[in-house]
Amino acid sequence: MKRNTKQAKVITEVIRSAGRPLTPSEIHEFASQNISQLGIATIYRHLKALCESMQVVGVDYPGQPPRYEWVDGKDKVHFTCRSCDKLYALADTTKNTPPAKVPKGFNVQGFEVMLYGMCPECG
């Protein structure tokens, strides 16, 4: 039986309230504001458990560190800031339609949209 520790609650709340995908280091930084002796290994253990229980999903893009976001059942488009490297989750307005015409014979099973630019903080 999994224990519901103070560390688990804080880590979960950091991810749920972030509003954007976070790296393990960012999760550690924010969670450490509430639990000063929190180790990075604890972050990784809880991320693994949250991923296994499908509460958190990894967001991986080439050239970017792995990030994690809360699963809320909504499709998302991601925006990465070229200045600060933060990754943001935006509402998906693609209506499940790939952004390009697919050549005959190809069977699309899913797609991802990544936007690049400057976030409001850097902008």
pLDDT reading at 2 higher than 70: no
**Token pair listed for 22:** 């976070």
What average pLDDT does the segment 78-106 reach?
84
pLDDT reading at 112 higher than 80: no
What pLDDT is recorded for position 65?
Answer: 86
Domain ranges of the chain: 6-70, 76-117
What pLDDT is recorded for position 3?
Answer: 59
What average pLDDT does the segment 22-51 reach?
95
Alpha carbon distance 23, 25 (integer Å): 5
Q: How confident is the model at residue 28 (pLDDT cuts 50, 70, 90)?
A: very high
The alpha carbon of 27 is separated from its chain's Cα centroid by a whole number of angstroms, namely: 11
CB 57 within 8 A of CB 71: yes
What average pLDDT does the segment 81-110 reach?
83
Q: What is the pLDDT of residues 42-58, one digit of tens each?
A: 999 999 999 999 999 99
pLDDT reading at 27 higher than 90: yes
22 DSSP 8-state letter = B
Alpha carbon distance 82, 98 (integer Å): 24
Q: How confident is the model at residue 70 (pLDDT cuts 50, 70, 90)?
A: very high
Alpha carbon distance 20, 18 (integer Å): 5
Radius of gyration of the chain (CA): 17
* Model pTM score: 0.78
Distances (CA, A) of 123 to 26, 63, 84, 88, 115: 21, 21, 10, 14, 15
Third-level CATH fold of 6-70: Arc Repressor Mutant, subunit A (1.10.10)
What count of residues does the chain have?
A: 123
